[in-house]
Structure formats: structure tokens, C-alpha cells
Amino acid sequence: MTAVLDASAVVTLLYREPGHEAVAELVDGALISSVNWSEVTQKLAQRGVSDPAGVAAGLLALGADVLSFHRSDAETAAACGRPAAPAACHSATGPASRLRRRHLVGTR
């Protein structure tokens, strides 16, 4: 199963915050959306990192990859977040399967 990392999980890993070990185990082969990638670099810049993109790129060296997030992905994610989500949201082959791998949220 492929892990899909959100920004808080990546920041947790980069700053070795509680729970970083769990994130580290999932990085090789993990995905992060371009939206979350942007948030990671923003958070690093806010913390005074002089080369936030370079630091974040270290994650790619560990085997993670950035996944483009398109308008259709946003619409699918929104539809799957509704209480009466379409059955396709729960299908291993439905339109949400690209977005819904194993989602790991940071400890914040």
C-alpha cells in the first residue's frame, strides 16, 4: 500500500517531532500532493530555513514523490468527503483511488 503524506506529517519528520519515526517508515515510495508540498516549503520558510525547497527535496531523495493535484482531484476529494459519499469513493478502482491510498496525518 502506498502512503500519502500530508504537510504536517512531513514537517513532523523534518523536525523530528513526536511521531516522526512512523512517518520515516513510510517515506520510501510515498506520495505527497503538490498542494501539501507547497505547504511544507512555506512552513520551512516561515521557520527561517534559507533553502526550504532544498530541504524538502531531501524527502524526494528518500523515495517520496510529488503528485500533481488538479481541479478534478479537488472535486473528487470534496465529493468523497460528504456524509453520503458516492460508492466509487470507497472502491479500490474508483476515481478516488488515486487520492486515497494510505493517508498519514501528522501529530499536530
HEC profile for the chain?
CCEEECHHHHHHHHCCCCCHHHHHCCCCCCEEEHHHHHHHHHHHHHCCCCCHHHHHHHHHHCCCEEECCCHHHHHHHHHHCCCCCCHHHHCCCCHHHHCCCEEECCCC
pTM of the model: 0.70
Instruction: Give me the average pLDDT of each 10-residue run along the chain (108 residues).
Output: 88 93 92 90 92 85 88 78 64 50 43
Structural domains in the chain, sorted by start: 3-104 (3.40.50.1010)
pLDDT of 17 reads: 95
